[in-house]
């Protein structure tokens, strides 16, 4: 299928959506944020073989790239508005794969309130590269930054962690409603979505806030997939919960005085777990016997030069 | 250089810029458009070997990807606000190449008033893929669409066309000031930037506006590079001016009553040429002897499946 035809096909799939004034087909899309809105922008790149398996169903890959990208807006506690994507299509990608991918991206984006409103498709010789941009808006809220954590605040995490590689990373659900609740109703002070893994992402909050943290190993919510991974590779389920990436759950800090209220008012089925506390310095993990050791960032970092 | 270190290095190069409230380092960037602004978004993908030569100087490639992307905001007659980029780095790209590329992107983005305010860097096995997102704003203006051309309006183009492959495509200058002048001061009715080539991009305006057009071959402004290309490959310089892509000049329609005023008030050194007229239907080229023939879209289209 020539580029033009694929683009036409994709355009036909897109309807008018609230907030999108002008969709694909011109030099740029036009979005109409609310007048009291600042605008958020996040960009993410997904490479075949690194971020999604070559043999993954295109429906799952399409869902994942959109969900993982919108997750960044959820982590700011704000409203997603629209998605944009570029696709450098490897020569081995068949038309049916492309259409299924496109359809899944369109569906996921619309489901999360951020319709796919533009893109660029080109050919490439290597693995397929998908780049996703999500635009969000504040609607009068202040975005929740990574830098707002202060000593004494409590650390919480949503969901259960670890083992997403067994498949959950392709079924990620961005915590948009949860992020908005935490920002608007609770006023959490710092937030991040878990893409690199808890042990790494907690360092991001600590570094950006200029603080430390202690997490209690007994309180980390371990997923069934982490247990399954542990059975397979001999590492512990806790290690998987700490170090595996792509959980796309929310990790956040909240004033101690609000912790009980948060637990009582939490309106979602998704588990909410208090896992530790913000301190002056040092990122530590506390064992059941009270002993503490440094929590090393164990998340995956893409290194392209072992050269 | 690990991803983290490159990202840190890039972040250190970025200063605070007007309009950017929060730059790289959090889950999303925050931009503060003016309160009467709608927001424009454009995304473009550039693949090594297709959109830039593997052996092109990274300084030129970095400039090109930013300039070509901002050109889409120029073609809407609006204000660029910020750039975002993802980079899937091929394994053969050395650190020095990456840093020079990053520096050139930062410089170009800042020069055109749309600072690079966020990104994602990852590794890939294939050619390097660069995806650029540009966010713009209207500041009370209406964006100039491709769809506003009406019969009787005059067609103009900026600059001289053709032969950009000889090098000019790497030195593109987005016509931001010109686009703003045409929108704000003149009120042009339809506009596009020439990325696919005049013969193709004119069809985009005709198709989106539901009109036709006649361009006069004698009036097409032919670049020296088009003449040089013709000398090399035996096609005519006019053919290169019509069909070569990546001129990044502006093609636009304006009410006939305003054409003289436009020429008189045009405040730029860049050539401005009236090349034809909008008609009811059919996209034609008129020779010096008055004969007309269909102008076929001759621009390059990426086809990834000769499979």
ipTM: 0.90
Give contacts of B44 with chain A, Cβ < 8 Å.
86, 120
Give contacts of B28 with chain A, Cβ < 8 Å.
40-42, 72-73, 75-76, 78, 134, 136, 143
Q: What is the mean pLDDT of residues B274-285?
A: 98
Is residue B303's pLDDT more than 70? no
Decide if B43 and A76 are in contact by the 8 Å CB cutoff. no
Confirm if A198 and A241 have CB atoms less than 8 A apart: yes
Give me the pLDDT at residue B302, please. 39
Q: Among A76, A85, A95, select the one facing B27 at the smallest CB separation.
A: A76
- In our burial notation (b when 16+ CB lie closer than 10 A, e otherwise), range B244-273 reads bbbbbbbbbbbbeebbeebeeebeeeeebb
Give me the pLDDT at residue A1, please. 59
Confirm if A8 and B22 have CB atoms less than 8 A apart: no
3-state secondary structure of A10: helix
Return d(Cα B67, Cα B176) in angstroms, integer: 10
Give the gap in angstroms from C-alpha A46 to the nearest C-alpha of chain B: 8
Instruction: Give the C-alpha distances (Å, rounded to integers) separating A128 from A4, A53, B126.
Output: 18, 11, 9
Q: What is the mean pLDDT of residues A59-83?
A: 96
Give contacts of B123 with chain A, Cβ < 8 Å.
47, 50, 302-304
Q: Among B41, B50, B134, select the one facing A122 at the smallest CB separation.
A: B50
Q: Say which DSSP state B290 is in.
A: S
Which domains, and CATH codes, for chain B? 3-137 (3.30.1330.10), 146-294 (3.90.650.10)
Decide if A30 and B126 are in contact by the 8 Å CB cutoff. no
pLDDT in tens, B224-271: 999 999 999 999 999 999 999 899 999 999 999 999 999 999 999 999
Return d(Cα B155, Cα B253) in angstroms, integer: 5
Q: What is the mean pLDDT of residues A176-193?
A: 98
Return d(Cα A272, Cα A155) in angstroms, integer: 11
Cross-strand partners of A31: A20, B39
Return d(Cα A39, Cα A137) in angstroms, integer: 5
Q: What is the mean pLDDT of residues B84-103?
A: 89
Return d(Cα A243, Cα A257) in angstroms, integer: 30
Decide if A131 and B129 are in contact by the 8 Å CB cutoff. yes
Q: Which residues contact B195 (CB under 8 A, 6 or more apart)?
A: B68, B71, B201, B245, B246, B247, B248
Give contacts of B131 with chain A, Cβ < 8 Å.
43, 45, 86, 88, 120, 129, 131
pLDDT in tens, B146-198: 999 999 999 999 999 998 888 877 888 999 999 999 999 999 999 999 999 99
Bridging pattern class, strands B154-158 and B212-216: unpaired
> What's the token pair of residue A101?
């991918």
Q: What is the mean pLDDT of residues A180-199?
A: 97
Give me the pLDDT at residue B15, please. 66
Mutate to test the interface with A, among B99, B304, B306, B307 (most CBs of A within 10 A): B304
Instruction: Give the C-alpha distances (Å, rounded to integers) separating A254 from A15, A116, A155, A178.
Output: 39, 33, 7, 14
Mean pLDDT of chain A: 91
- In this prediction, residue A130 has a pLDDT band, given cuts at 50, 70 and 90, of very high
Give the gap in angstroms from C-alpha A40 to the nearest C-alpha of chain B: 5
Return d(Cα A295, Cα A124) in angstroms, integer: 41
Decide if A33 and B28 are in contact by the 8 Å CB cutoff. no
pLDDT in tens, B3-26: 667 777 777 777 667 778 888 889
Q: What is the mean pLDDT of residues B121-140?
A: 93
Q: Say which DSSP state B220 is in.
A: S
Report which of A20, A15, A148, A35 is spatially closest to residue A80, judged by C-alpha positions.
A20
Give the gap in angstroms from C-alpha A290 to the nearest C-alpha of chain B: 32
Q: State the CB neighbour count (10 A cutoff) for residue B14.
A: 20
Return d(Cα B301, Cα B230) in angstroms, integer: 21
**Higher pLDDT pick, B35 / A174:** A174
Return d(Cα A217, Cα B103) in angstroms, integer: 43
Give contacts of A22 with chain B, Cβ < 8 Å.
143, 145
**Higher pLDDT pick, B292 / A165:** B292
Decide if A126 and B123 are in contact by the 8 Å CB cutoff. no
Return d(Cα B223, Cα A189) in angstroms, integer: 57
Ramachandran class of B182: left when φ > 0, alpha when ψ lies in -120 to 50, beta otherwise: alpha
Q: In what order do the strands lie in the sheet with B116-124?
A: A20-22, A29-31, B39-47, B129-137, B79-90, B116-124
Give the gap in angstroms from C-alpha A288 to the nearest C-alpha of chain B: 32
Give the gap in angstroms from C-alpha A250 to the nearest C-alpha of chain B: 11
Q: State the CB neighbour count (10 A cutoff) for residue B110.
A: 17
Is residue B91's pLDDT more than 50? yes
């Amino acid at each position: 299928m020539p580029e033009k035809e694929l683009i036409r096909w994709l355009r036909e799939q897109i309807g008018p959506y609230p907030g999108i004034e002008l969709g694909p087909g011109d030099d740029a899309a036009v979005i109409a944020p609310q007048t009291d809105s600042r605008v958020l922008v996040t960009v993410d790149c997904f490479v075949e073989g690194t971020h999604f398996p070559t043999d993954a169903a295109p429906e799952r890959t399409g869902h994942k790239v959109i969900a993982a990208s919108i997750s960044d807006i959820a982590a700011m506690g704000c409203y997603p508005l629209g998605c944009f994507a570029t696709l450098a299509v490897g020569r081995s990608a068949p038309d049916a794969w492309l259409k299924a991918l496109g359809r899944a991206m369109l569906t996921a984006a619309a489901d999360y309130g951020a319709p796919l409103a533009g893109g660029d498709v080109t050919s490439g010789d290597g693995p397929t590269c998908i780049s996703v941009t999500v635009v969000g808006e504040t609607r009068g809220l202040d975005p929740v930054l990574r830098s707002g954590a202060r000593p004494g605040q409590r650390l919480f995490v949503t969901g259960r962690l670890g083992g997403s590689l067994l498949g959950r990373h392709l079924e990620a659900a961005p915590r948009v409603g949860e992020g908005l609740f935490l920002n608007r109703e609770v006023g959490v002070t710092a937030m991040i979505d878990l893409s690199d893994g808890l042990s790494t992402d907690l360092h991001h909050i600590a570094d950006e806030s200029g603080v430390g943290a202690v997490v209690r190993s007994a309180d980390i919510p371990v997923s069934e997939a982490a247990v399954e991974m542990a059975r397979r590779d001999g590492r512990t389920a806790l290690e998987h919960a700490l170090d595996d990436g792509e959980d796309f759950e929310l990790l956040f800090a909240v004033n101690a005085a609000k912790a009980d209220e948060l637990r009582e008012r939490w309106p979602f089925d998704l588990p909410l777990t208090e896992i530790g506390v913000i301190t002056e310095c040092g990122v530590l993990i506390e064992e059941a016997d009270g002993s503490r050791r440094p929590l090393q960032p164990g998340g995956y970092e893409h290194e392209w030069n072992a050269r």
